[in-house]
Structure 1
Amino acid sequence: MDWKKKLREEGYIELDGLRIELSLDNTFLDIDYIPRVLVYAEETGRWHVLRNPIPKGKTLEEGWDNAVEVLDAIARGEVKPDLGEPDVETRLVNALRKLNGCP
């Protein structure tokens, strides 16, 4: 199964000691929820929030599609991930590139 489709359908994927999850944020207690990507790294034992901007979208589904598109842009090397932890960022890029069939 395509990793993007699996992520959208199941809400998470696990690979190379990382768990990537789609989540929602309501930090400002607005009515609207903001799509977020969370990355759990076994090596740090912590969750990391992807800080790259994710376009909101008109619906929740569209917002999550946009989150997956940001991850795909990272996989293609068009966007550098911002997780606040360079080693985890590098591991995320390598894992996503591997899913896309890149060396």
Structure 2
Amino acid sequence: MEEWKERLKEEGYIEVGDFIIEVSVDSECPCKDDEVYPVIMIYDRKTESWYYVDEPFDPVNNFTEAWEEGIKVLEGYINGKEPRLKRTPKKFAPDDVIKRFAEALKTLENKTDSQSELNV
């Protein structure tokens, strides 16, 4: 398994370039219907702002499943899908943030044991 994925699984976050990427779960407690959803939060150190990934996640049962969903989304971004980062439900992240985030994620491509691009 690539190191960034393992680090994300073990610690719940990774640092890539200007960004901190955190994968967690979102649930209402007490749980109404036992459904939880993955949440990917992005902190941009350059702008000192938080964003979240706005993708149609399927419900999951635990953190491991949330991590698996999060990895699929991040791999899609690494492979060229445009990131869907939002600041609020009605406001997308600025274009320059999305572009910098996409470029930062590309440094994870084919990285296995190198920590030169992955600040861990």
- Amino acid of the residue matched to residue 93 of structure 1? A
Relative distance call for 1:57 and 1:32 in structure 2 (3 A) is: closer
* 8 Å CA contact retained: 2:23, 2:41: yes
Instruction: Identify the match of residue 92 of structure 1 among 101, 113, 116.
Output: 101
Q: Name the SS for the 2:51 alignment partner.
A: strand
Shift in Å at residue 27 of structure 1? 5.8
In structure 2, C-alpha distance between the alignment counterparts of 1:6 and 1:69, rounded to whole Å:
15
- Indicate the structure with greater helix content: 1
- Amino acid of the residue matched to residue 72 of structure 1? E
User: Max radius of gyration: which structure?
Assistant: 2
* 8 Å CA contact retained: 1:12, 1:20: yes
Q: Name the SS for the 1:32 alignment partner.
A: coil
In structure 1, C-alpha distance between the alignment counterparts of 2:17 and 2:26, rounded to whole Å:
26
Larger RCO, structures 1/2 (Cα 8 Å, 6+ apart):
2
Q: Percent identity over the alignment?
A: 31
Gaps of 5+ in 1: none
Q: Name the SS for the 1:80 alignment partner.
A: coil
Alignment of 1:31-42 (within 5 A): 31-42=34-45
Corresponding residue number in structure 2 for 1:44: 47
In structure 1, C-alpha distance between the alignment counterparts of 2:44 and 2:82, rounded to whole Å:
18
Gaps of 5+ in 2: 86-91, 112-120
TM-score, scaled relative to structure 1: 0.82
- Report which stretch shifted further, 25-34 or 48-57: 25-34
- Amino acid of the residue matched to residue 37 of structure 1? I
C-alpha RMSD of the superposition? 2.2
Q: Do structure 1's residue 56 and structure 2's residue 65 form an aligned pair?
A: no
TM-score, scaled relative to structure 2: 0.72
